[in-house]
Amino acid sequence: MVLLYTGKGKGKTTAAIGLCIRALGWGKKVCMIQFLKSPEFESGEIKLLKKLNVTLYQTGLGYSWTKTPQQQIDCIQKAWELCKKVLLCEKYDMIILDEIVNVFCMKTVCVSDFLTEENLIEVLQNTKKTMDIVLTGRNASTKLIEYADLVTEMKNIKHYYKKGIKAIKGLEY
């Protein structure tokens, strides 16, 4: 199955991690590649996933506004090369591609020379048929929505950020 969590609301990665925990409970092997999140930023879910022996790659640069477009492109290109290897290795039962959807709509980075939605779908079509793939990120295109077997849109109705409350350990990270 290809599962897609998209939308502007909170909870896309959290939903993917929920599926990860469910798969682990059944003895499945899980890999998570985070396209934009940096290993420099510590979060509660990543600490737990490491303890649960999830294969985890945090390939991002962190706060992208502090990086040059070329640094972002280089980082995403390395992540995509890793992603292709992992998807085709047949070692995992579930692979989570966290924030890959965001890559397709980044205004400051042009990745279309090496990574397009068509490239992603082509690679997904060549994965083993028993592997579940989870995609997350905002603004999923019609093409990705049509390709996925399950699509959930996270909608932001209300958030405490609007009151000026900063990220809370255990809730946001």
Q: Could you tell me the residue range of the domain that residue 117 belongs to?
A: 2-163
Q: What is residue 65's predicted lDDT score, i.e. its pLDDT? A: 65
Six-digit token pair at 113? 């020379």
The answer to whether residue 171 is domain-embedded is: no
The winner for highest mean pLDDT among 22-26, 44-48, 113-117 is 22-26
Q: What sign for the dihedral angle of Cα 34, 15, 42, 31?
A: negative
* pTM for the full predicted model: 0.92
The answer to whether residue 137 is domain-embedded is: yes
Which CATH number do you get for residue 84? 3.40.50.300
What's the domain count of the chain?
1
The answer to whether residue 168 is domain-embedded is: no
Q: What is residue 71's predicted lDDT score, i.e. its pLDDT? A: 86
The answer to whether residue 115 is domain-embedded is: yes
Give the tens place of pLDDT for each residue, 120-151.
999 999 999 999 999 999 999 999 999 999 99
The answer to whether residue 79 is domain-embedded is: yes
The answer to whether residue 158 is domain-embedded is: yes
* Contact yes or no for 3/19 (Cβ under 8 A): yes
